[in-house]
Amino acid sequence: MKKFVIAAVAAAALNTVSAQSCASAFSGFYAGLQAGMNATVGDTKSDGQLNVLNGVYATEFKRSNSAQSFIGGLFLGYGMGIGSCGYVGGELYGNLGNTDVKITDETQSIAAGQVNLAIKQSIKNQFNLGAKIRLGYTITQQSMIFLGLGLEWSAWRIKESGSLGGALVPAANRGSFDEKTTKKSVAFAPSVGMESYMTKNIFVRGEYTYVAGPKFKSKDDFNVPVKVNTNQHRFTLGLGYKF
């Protein structure tokens, strides 16, 4: 009986230490580096009309294009253990990259080739800044899975060009254009990931992030409306240090 009581007390003590270390191992300030691949998808749609002096012509098309690029940056944050295995924290991050997607490359021959319309659009993004809340669950004393709920700010350069010609298009309506604009976007950026400690203070992580945006409407110099929806799929690996 005495041995049983001692064993029970020892097991309870071990469980208490395990619970405390499970929660506290991830608590504190941290910072690190991250790098990975970023896939940007651009969906374009037009269901408008082209008006010229000799008629009104439908300009209907729907396209989806994507491009991949390398991305790298920094992260820093603070977190604390909740209960035996829970975790909550906040994180700031920034990434540099070279995203360049040709989202529209449309050439239409209308009215038996008598009206020729060409439209090209591309979007480019070179950096993003984000903030997120992290909710985690420690599956071991060294490893944690987490969910990130964040917002991400970025600036996009939109480049558009096009040409209009053909026998049915009056000379006054023919021509071409080439212009650039900048759109600033704040997008919802949820993520999921896992991180593990290799030593008491050094950890590694893998994370997938989905960025919903930006969206914009474009009406080129020929008044052809084009709707553009973009999103990003990002996978990064990180190396961090807890202070």
Residue ranges per structural domain of the chain? 2-242
The dihedral over CA atoms of 119, 121, 150, 68, expressed in degrees to the nearest 10, equals 120
Q: Which helix (H) or strand (E) holds 236?
A: strand 225-242
Could you read off the pLDDT tens digit of each residue along the chain, which spans 243 residues? 444 444 444 444 334 444 455 667 789 999 999 999 999 988 888 777 777 766 677 777 788 888 889 999 999 999 998 888 899 999 999 999 888 888 888 787 877 777 888 888 888 888 999 999 999 999 988 899 999 999 999 988 888 888 888 887 777 778 888 888 888 889 999 999 999 999 989 999 999 999 987 787 776 667 777 888 889 999 999 999 999
What are residue 139's phi and psi, to 5 degrees?
Answer: -85, -25
**C-beta neighbour count of 203 within 10 angstroms:** 22
Residue 109's nearest CA partner among 164, 53, 62 is 164
CA 38, distance to chain mean position in Å, is 8
Q: Please state which CATH class domain 2-242 belongs to.
A: mainly beta
First to last CA, the chain: 46
Q: What pLDDT is stored for residue 108 in this prediction?
A: 78
d(CA 65, CA 145): 32
Q: What would the pLDDT profile of 115-151 be if each residue is shown by its tens digit?
A: 888 888 888 888 999 999 999 999 988 899 999 999 9
Half-sphere CA count of 199, side-chain side, radius 13 A = 7
